[in-house]
Amino acid sequence: MISTAFPYLSILLFIASILVYIETKSKAKIFEYLPAIVILYFTVMSLSTLELWIKTDEINAAYKAFKNNLLPAMIFLMLLQSDIRKILKLGKRILLTFFLASLSISLGFIIMYAQLHHHFEPDAWRAFGALSGSWMGGTGNMVAIQSALELPDSKMGYVLLIDSIDYAIWVMILLALVPFAKQFNRWTKADEILIEQLSNRVENNQEKKEVDFPSLFMMLGLALMVSMMAQYLALLLPSTGFLTPTTWTVIVATLAGIVVGMTPLNKERSAEPLANIILYLIVALIASRANFSELTQAPLYIIAGFMIIVIHATIMVLFAKLFKLDLFSLGMASLANIGGVASAPILAGAYHKALIPIGVLMAMMGYIVGTFIGLGVAQVLKFISL
CA 269 to each of CA 213, 217, 227: distance values in angstroms, whole numbers, following the listed order: 11, 12, 20
Q: C-alpha angle with apex 10: 6 to 12, nearest 5 degrees?
A: 125
* Residue among 89, 43, 114 nearest 280 (CA): 43
β-partners of residue 2 are 53
Residue 334 to residue 381: CA distance in whole angstroms: 21
What is the longest distance spanned by two Cα atoms in the chain?
64
Q: Give residue 306's pLDDT.
A: 94
Residue 108's nearest CA partner among 136, 80, 84 is: 136
From CA 90, how far away is CA 15, in angstroms rounded?
Answer: 39
CA-to-CA distance for 271 and 268, rounded, in angstroms?
6
The Cα 212–Cα 203 span in angstroms is 25
| pLDDT of the residue at 107 | 96
pTM (2 decimals)? Answer: 0.80
Main-chain phi, psi angles of 136, to 5 degrees: -125, 10
User: What distance in Å separates the CA atoms of residue 99 and residue 88, rounded to the nearest whole number?
Assistant: 13
* Parts of the chain with a pLDDT under 50: 204-206
Identify the pLDDT of residue 382.
93
158 touches 301 (CB < 8 A):
yes
> What pLDDT, on the 0 to 100 scale, is given for residue 11?
95
CB burial of 347-363 (b: ≥16 within 10 Å; e: otherwise) equals bbebbeebbbbbbbbbb
Predicted confidence at residue 127, as pLDDT, reads: 92
Instruction: Give DSSP secondary structure letters for 152-172.
Output: -GGGHHHHHHHHHHHHHHHHH
